[in-house]
Amino acid sequence: MAVLTYREALGRAMAEEMARDPKIFLMGEEVAEYNGAYKVSKGLLDKFGPERVIDSPISEGGFAGLGVGAAMVGLRPIIEMMTWNFGIQGFDQIINHAAKMLYMSGGQFTVPIVFRGPNGAAHMLAAQHSQTVEGMLTQVPGLKVVTSCNPADGYGLLKSSIRDNNPVIFLESEMMYAMKGEVDDAEHLIPLGVGSIKREGQHVTLIAWTKMVARAMACAEQLAQEGIECEVIDPRTLRPLDEEMIFNSVRKTHRVVIIEEAYQAASVGSFIAEQIQRVCFDELDAPVMRVANEFVPMPYAENLEHRVLPEPERIIPVIKQVLYMD
């Protein structure tokens, strides 16, 4: 068991996979000589050389499409989006091309590719640099969407994503790159589609992913003081979604709060809420509640940004509400 940062765990996953399979290459802005804008690809250029670790021009649509074309003829690209805010420029290639190629071609052309990069707000980066994309990309048949909330999950899930034969959207977070955690020294993979129970509890189910898991855990700790036992579950892969894990937890606690860095709008959380009320209708003792961002573009000022994101002071009252403690 070594203690790695989230960034190191992701870097290790890429290094191991690239050593295993020469068809894998990494392309993106600053990934090579600069070792990555966030240093996730640190050392990969030295290890694998400029043919396999490539600095791209600032052409998100172009190099997303380049990756798709390369994947169609047998390579296995990892495309880094410096952040997913810029990945929106690649949406045409991701949504219209990567996701549909296998189906459009009647099953002839697989597109084994990973699009990875940080997603969501960092700190005081304002409206154009603070967006999440899972709400949009989980809507697209043909795409898989993967998240992780700690180094071990990031490592195991990125390896599985790289080995998957479909386009995988792998969502990271600037706020997590420095997070430390134990990662088994032995190589191991975490299958896509299997969620993880981060904390057991019988009173209420908290559903969260990426950096919201830490917030959910913080709220759980705090409420434990008051004798409230929260079950914290992380679906990890949002497409495919481990619905059984979710339903089972709901059948146990009968109460749910979803915490996500999205909006009170169509989102992965709203979809999960819909599924729960549909499948567990008679099991629910309270409506499925959700704590999300305020429905505003992200403001810059620290006090305003803090007010927009789901913070414990906004989450805890909602948890108490589904427990009818308010």
Tell me how many degrees the CA angle 222-308-122 measures, rounded to the nearest 5: 85
- Minimal distance, residue 199 CB to another protein, in Å: 31
- Residue 189, number of CB atoms within 10 A of its CB: 15
Q: Choose which of 16, 42, 43, 66 interacts with another protein (CB under 8 A).
A: 66
Tell me which residues in 30-59 interact with another protein (CB under 8 A). Answer: 30, 33-34, 37, 51, 55-59
What is d(CA 98, CA 142) in angstroms, rounded to the nearest whole number? Answer: 8
Q: Choose which of 9, 14, 53, 68 interacts with another protein (CB under 8 A).
A: 68
Of 41, 28, 23, 36, which is closest to residue 158 (Cα–Cα)? 41
Identify any residues that bridge with 54 across adjacent strands, giving them in sequence order.
27
84 near a second copy (CB under 8 A)? no
Amino acid at 234: D
CB-based contact 202:163 (threshold 8 Å): no
What is d(CA 67, CA 87) in angstroms, rounded to the nearest whole number? Answer: 13
- Binding mask 57-96 vs ligand TPP (x if CB under 6 A, - otherwise)? -x-x---------------------x---x--x-------
Of 158, 145, 133, 171, which is closest to residue 262 (Cα–Cα)? 133
Buried b / exposed e along 294-312 (16+ C-beta atoms within 10 A): eeeebbeeeeebeebbbeb
SS3 of 265-306: CCCHHHHHHHHHHHHCHHHCCCCCEEEEECCCCCCCCHHHHH
Q: Strands 76-80 and 24-28: what pairing?
A: parallel
Could you give the residue ranges of the DSSP H alpha helices within the chain?
6-20, 44-48, 60-72, 84-87, 91, 101-104, 134-137, 151-163, 211-225, 243-253, 268-279, 302-308, 312-322
- Minimal distance, residue 244 CB to another protein, in Å: 19
268 near a second copy (CB under 8 A)? yes
129 catalytic per annotation: yes
26 near another protein (CB under 8 A)? no
Tell me which residues in 287-326 interact with another protein (CB under 8 A). Answer: 294-297, 299-304, 307-308
Residue 189 binds which entry of ligand TPP, a second copy, another protein, none, CB below 5-8 Å type-dependent: none
109 near a second copy (CB under 8 A)? no
Q: Give the position of tokens 């749910």.
A: 256
123 near another protein (CB under 8 A)? yes
Q: Choose which of 42, 199, 222, 271 interacts with a second copy (CB under 8 A).
A: 271
Q: Compare residues 107 and 227 and give the one whose CB is closer to a second copy.
A: 107
29 near another protein (CB under 8 A)? yes
Q: Compare residues 82 and 246 and give the one whose CB is closer to ligand TPP.
A: 82
What is d(CA 256, CA 195) in angstroms, rounded to the nearest whole number? Answer: 16
**Active-site position among 97, 129, 203, 254:** 129
Instruction: Report the phi/psi class of residue 124: left, alpha or beta, with left for phi > 0 and alpha for psi in -120 to 50.
Output: left
Those residues with Cβ within 8 angstroms of residue 107's Cβ, 6 or more apart along the chain or in another chain: none
Residue 281 binds which entry of another protein, ligand TPP, a second copy, none, CB below 5-8 Å type-dependent: a second copy
Chain residues that interact with another protein, rule: CB under 8 A: 25, 29-30, 33-34, 37, 51, 55-59, 61-75, 77, 85-86, 89, 92-93, 96-97, 101-110, 112, 123-129, 141-142, 144, 165-166, 294-297, 299-304, 307-308
Chain residues that interact with a second copy, rule: CB under 8 A: 61, 85, 88-89, 91-92, 95-96, 99-100, 103-104, 126-128, 131, 135-136, 138-139, 141-142, 239, 262-263, 265-271, 273-274, 277-279, 281, 284, 286-290, 295-297, 299
Chain residues that interact with ligand TPP, rule: CB under 6 A: 29, 58, 60, 82, 86, 89
So which residues are the catalytic ones?
60, 129
